[in-house]
Amino acid sequence: MAVFQNFDIIYMIVEKTNTGFSAFSEEFPIFTTGKTIPELIHNAYEAVQLFFDDQKSEENCRK
């Protein structure tokens, strides 16, 4: 699991689905699924990390 420094809170909406759970952010294009809540939480951390890593990469490419 990644450790975020200088982080803000990212709120995610969690919904029950037929196959488990889904979560998404209304502020960022971040979404994920999981069969259990612990899996969903793990996947949410990973999705957030991937999104911000990608944002950082795009910023570095523009320089």
Q: Residue 3: inside a domain, yes or no?
A: no
Residue 5 in domain: no
**Nearest CA among 33, 29, 35, 21 for reference residue 48:** 29
What type of residue sits at position 3? V
pTM of the predicted protein model: 0.76
Domain membership flag for residue 54: yes
Which pair of structure tokens corresponds to residue 29? 């294009």
**End-to-end CA separation in angstroms for the chain:** 29
Does residue 2 fall inside a structural domain? no
What are the pLDDT digits (tens) for 3-59? 455 567 899 999 999 999 999 999 999 999 999 999 999 999 999 999 988 877 766
35 residue type, one letter: K
pLDDT at 3 (0 to 100): 46
For 24, the token pair is 């998404």
Which residue segment(s) compose the domain that 48 sits in?
A: 13-62
Q: Number of folded domains in the chain?
A: 1
In a domain, 8, yes or no: no
